[in-house]
A = this chain, B = another copy of it.
Amino acid sequence: MTSPAIKAERLQQRLETFADIGATPAGGVNRQALSPEDREARRLLAELAKARRFGVFQDAMANLFIRRSGRDDRLPPLLIGSHLDSQPTGGRFDGALGTLSAFEVLEALEDAGAQTPSPIEVVAWTNEEGSRFAPGVMGSMAFAGAADPAQWQSLAGSDGASFADELAATLAALPEAAMRPLGMPLSGYIELHIEQGPSLEKEGLAIGVVTGVQGTRWLKVTVTGEAGHAGTTPLPYRRDPMVAAVGMMHQLQASVMPSDADARLTVGRIATIPGSVNAIPKAVTFSLDIRHPSAGRLDAIVGDVQAICRAEGAKQGCSVEIATAFDMAPGVFAPEMIDTIEAAARRLSLPCKRMVSGAFHDALFLARVAPTAMIFVPCRNGISHNEAEYVEPASIRDGARLLLEATIAATTT
């Protein structure tokens, strides 16, 4: 028996093969959840698995599992993987990289004739992206018992398709996969993914050891003042909601992120009513996307936001309403799994740092039912959810090597 090793050319070739399924003219991928393209990708993965005599399973959410037996098959498996669905104009690596790198790990173990103490399973979660059927991370959420899939029975997709019909068709398209119940005991979960941000590339690091997922709060701030003629209304008679909104945003932009490197605050959307060049608006609405890895700090920032918005509104004689449009608590990964991955990276001399994920992942829900952590690799310019998404071959190799090393370590400890 040789020592297990990633075959980087095989993985690279396989990424290209999968990128052909749903390929877009601009070099990206349109392989939305439960679409014919998604089914084709799932079929190809199942066939590759059968060729290696791995077990193939699916559950009621069409989460797809590839199982390589361990020494004791009664032990709960270690799960590794990601998703195969994409955004409508998505990239080739978001999801596919983690899924195919996990499959490469199974193949590397098989090539080496390595026996692991417990089984290892590769998973491709259903509908991580949520662009065709909202919400995203459906498969992992249902697997972790965090949502009852019955609620999605009558859901319609962005293309008008029935979720129930498309799910049934997807399950039926893979009759050779044995059905299993939703959810099962796991010894752990490791997900490799592209960073979808610029930090690793800018800092010249090969690996991010992900310690959790930021909590997210979306607020919609509505500032109401008094409409007026831009020419005929002197300053003392103005109750201008735009002046109030600018005061709010200015204070928040100058304080929240500059004082806390872990905080994120973004104004992505803003509108005035009525929106005339020559009218003082009657009202202004703007969005705040606020993120922090600590639930307590997130609450504190939201408290600051409310105080600042009310004070700036009052200064201009404007009323302020703040509505919560979305609220997701931070996900905290398992220290032992984080340590395992970090130690593996050190053994492989891969420059790395611990970091928090700014984007959602299936791992967010797996962390509720098993010791979970993630591995990030850099993507060019931090670009993702975009046909221009790109990962250097060296990063693909580094990630897969680390996933193999961490998988072996996690099943042996």
Q: Which residues of A contact B (CB under 8 A)?
A: 195-199, 202, 214, 216, 218, 228-235, 237, 240, 242-243, 246-247, 249-250, 253, 257-258, 261, 264, 266-272, 275-281, 287, 289, 291, 325-326, 357-359, 382, 384-385
A130 vs B267: C-alpha distance in the bound complex, in angstroms? 36
A269 vs B270: C-alpha distance in the bound complex, in angstroms? 10
How near does chain B come to A332, taking the closest CB pair, in angstroms? 16
B270-A232 in contact (CB<8A): no
Interchain CB contact (< 8 A) of A382 among B233, B247, B357: B233
Asked, given contacts A229-B358, A268-B277, whether A246 binds B243 with beta carbons under 8 Å apart, the answer is no
A358 vs B357: C-alpha distance in the bound complex, in angstroms? 52
Asked, given contacts A199-B237, A230-B264, A280-B268, whether A250 binds B258 with beta carbons under 8 Å apart, the answer is no
How near does chain B come to A290, taking the closest CB pair, in angstroms? 9
Contacts of A280 in B (CB 8 A): 266, 268
How near does chain B come to A219, taking the closest CB pair, in angstroms? 9
Number of this chain's copies in the assembly equals: 2
How near does chain B come to A323, taking the closest CB pair, in angstroms? 12
Contacts of A289 in B (CB 8 A): 230-231, 277-278
Interchain CB contact (< 8 A) of A249 among B246, B287, B325: B246
B197-A232 in contact (CB<8A): yes
B268-A270 in contact (CB<8A): no
Contacts of A279 in B (CB 8 A): 266, 268
A229-B197 in contact (CB<8A): yes
Asked, given contacts A249-B246, A272-B269, whether A231 binds B264 with beta carbons under 8 Å apart, the answer is yes
Top 7 A-B pairs ranked by shortest CB distance? Answer: A197-B232, A231-B358, A232-B358, A230-B266, A230-B289, A250-B250, A235-B257
Contacts of A325 in B (CB 8 A): 277
A382-B237 in contact (CB<8A): yes
B275-A358 in contact (CB<8A): no
A282 vs B275: C-alpha distance in the bound complex, in angstroms? 21
Asked, given contacts A216-B231, A229-B196, A229-B358, whether A281 binds B258 with beta carbons under 8 Å apart, the answer is no
A278-B266 in contact (CB<8A): yes
Asked, given contacts A197-B232, A230-B266, A277-B289, whether A243 binds B237 with beta carbons under 8 Å apart, the answer is no
How near does chain B come to A324, taking the closest CB pair, in angstroms? 12
A90 vs B224: C-alpha distance in the bound complex, in angstroms? 23
How near does chain B come to A24, taking the closest CB pair, in angstroms? 18
Query: Apart from A231-B357, A246-B250, what are 7 other A-B pairs with CB-CB below 8 Å?
Result: A195-B232, A197-B234, A228-B382, A246-B246, A247-B250, A268-B272, A268-B280
How near does chain B come to A144, taking the closest CB pair, in angstroms? 21
B277-A258 in contact (CB<8A): no
A328 vs B325: C-alpha distance in the bound complex, in angstroms? 43
B264-A198 in contact (CB<8A): no
How near does chain B come to A214, taking the closest CB pair, in angstroms? 6
Interchain CB contact (< 8 A) of A198 among B196, B237, B247: B237
A336 vs B26: C-alpha distance in the bound complex, in angstroms? 70
A261 vs B359: C-alpha distance in the bound complex, in angstroms? 48
A268 vs B214: C-alpha distance in the bound complex, in angstroms? 35
Contacts of A382 in B (CB 8 A): 228-229, 232-233, 237
Nearest chain-B residue to A270 (Cβ)?
B270
How near does chain B come to A361, taking the closest CB pair, in angstroms? 11
* A and B contact pairs by CB, cutoff 8 A, 11 listed: A195-B232, A229-B358, A230-B266, A232-B384, A243-B253, A246-B246, A246-B253, A268-B276, A270-B270, A270-B271, A277-B325
